[in-house]
Structure 1
Amino acid sequence: MSVEKQILHPRNLHRSRYDFPQLINSCPQLETFVFLNPYGDLSIDFSDPLAVKTLNKALLIHFYGLKDWDIPEGYLCPPIPGRADYIHYLADLLASVNEEVIPEGHSVKVLDIGVGANCVYPIIGHQIYGWAFVGSDVDKRAISSATNIAAVNPSLSNDLTFRLQNAASNIFRGVVKPGELFDLTLCNPPFHTSAEEAQQGSQRKVRNLGKQKGREVVLNFGGQNAELWCKGGEVEFIRKMIEESTQLATQCCWFTSLVSKSAHLSMIYYALERAGAKGVKTVEMAQGQKQSRFVAWTFLSPAERTEWSRKRWKK
Structure 2
Amino acid sequence: MHPKNLHKNGYPMNALCQSYPALKPFLVKAKSGNISIDFTNSQAVKLLNAALLRHYYRLDYWDIPDGYLCPPVPGRADYIHGIADLLKSTGGSAQSGQGQNVRGLDIGVGANAIYPIIGVTSYDWSFVGSDVDEAAVKNASVIASKNSVLADKFQVRKQRNSAHIFNGVIKENERFTFTMCNPPFHKSAQEALSGTRRKTCNLTRNKQKRSGGKFTDNQVQGLGGRSTKLYGKNASYQRQNANLNFAGQANELWCEGGELAFIQRMVQESVSVKNNVEWFTCLVSKSAHLKPIKTSINYYGATQCKVVDMGLGSKLSRFIAWTF
Q: What's the TM-score, normalizing by structure 1?
A: 0.89
Q: In the alignment, what sits opposite 2:154?
A: 160
Pairing 1:174-185 to 2, within 5 Å after superposition: 174-185=168-179
1:217 is matched with which residue: 241, 247, 252?
A: 241
Task: Give me the whole-angstrom Cα distance separating, in 1, the residues matched to 2:14 and 2:284.
Answer: 35
Q: In the alignment, what sits opposite 1:237?
A: 262
3-state SS of 1:116 partner: coil
Q: In the alignment, what sits opposite 1:251?
A: 276
Q: In the alignment, what sits opposite 1:51?
A: 44
Task: Give me the whole-angstrom Cα distance separating, in 2, the residues matched to 1:205 and 1:30.
Answer: 24
Q: Is it true that 1:105 corresponds to 2:130 in the alignment? A: no
Change beyond 3 A, Cα 1:232–1:220: farther
Pairing 1:133-144 to 2, within 5 Å after superposition: 133-144=127-138
Q: Is the 8 A contact 1:134 1:161 kept in 2?
A: yes
Q: 1:55-78: CA deviations, max 9, x gaps?
A: 000000000001111000110011
3-state SS of 1:227 partner: helix
Q: 1:10-51: CA deviations, max 9, x gaps?
A: 111111121100000000011111111222111111122111
Q: Is the 8 A contact 2:41 2:245 kept in 1?
A: no
Structure 2 spans left out of the alignment, 5+ residues = 209-238
- Alpha-carbon deviation of 1:216? 4.9
Task: Give me the whole-angstrom Cα distance separating, in 2, the residues matched to 1:94 and 1:247.
Answer: 22
Q: In the alignment, what sits opposite 1:12?
A: 5
Q: In the alignment, what sits opposite 2:319?
A: 294
Q: Is the 8 A contact 1:109 1:182 kept in 2?
A: yes
Q: In the alignment, what sits opposite 1:306?
A: none
3-state SS of 1:253 partner: strand
Q: 1:205-230: CA deviations, max 9, x gaps?
A: 122222587x9535771100000100
- Alpha-carbon deviation of 1:106? 2.5
- Of stretches 173-182 and 100-109 in structure 1, the one that deviates more from structure 2 is 100-109
Q: In the alignment, what sits opposite 1:268?
A: 293
3-state SS of 1:107 partner: coil
Task: Give me the whole-angstrom Cα distance separating, in 2, the residues matched to 1:249 and 1:53.
Answer: 37
- Alpha-carbon deviation of 1:185? 0.3
- Kindly report the root-mean-square deviation, in angstroms, between the aligned alpha carbons of the 2 structures: 1.7
- Alpha-carbon deviation of 1:107? 2.3
Q: Is it true that 1:27 corresponds to 2:17 in the alignment? A: no
Task: Give me the whole-angstrom Cα distance separating, in 2, the residues matched to 1:101 and 1:141.
Answer: 36
Q: In the alignment, what sits opposite 1:132?
A: 126
Task: Give me the whole-angstrom Cα distance separating, in 1, the residues matched to 2:207 and 2:253.
Answer: 21
Q: 1:129-173: CA deviations, max 9, x gaps?
A: 000000000000000000000111011021101100001110001
Task: Give me the whole-angstrom Cα distance separating, in 1, the residues matched to 2:296 and 2:161.
Answer: 23
- Alpha-carbon deviation of 1:101? 5.0
Percent identity over the alignment is: 51
Aligned AA for 2:260? V
Task: Give me the whole-angstrom Cα distance separating, in 2, the residues matched to 1:277 and 1:98.
Answer: 17
Q: Is the 8 A contact 2:305 2:323 kept in 1?
A: yes
Task: Give me the whole-angstrom Cα distance separating, in 2, the residues matched to 1:55 and 1:281.
Answer: 34
| Larger relative contact order, structure 1 or 2 (CA cutoff 8 Å, min sep 6) | 2
Q: In the alignment, what sits opposite 2:227?
A: none
Structure 1 spans left out of the alignment, 5+ residues = 1-7, 300-315
Number of aligned residue pairs: 291
- Of stretches 288-297 and 77-86 in structure 1, the one that deviates more from structure 2 is 288-297
Task: Give me the whole-angstrom Cα distance separating, in 2, the residues matched to 1:286 and 1:120.
Answer: 19
Aligned AA for 1:288? G
Q: What's the TM-score, normalizing by structure 2?
A: 0.87
Q: Is the 8 A contact 1:76 1:220 kept in 2?
A: no
Q: Is the 8 A contact 1:188 1:258 kept in 2?
A: yes
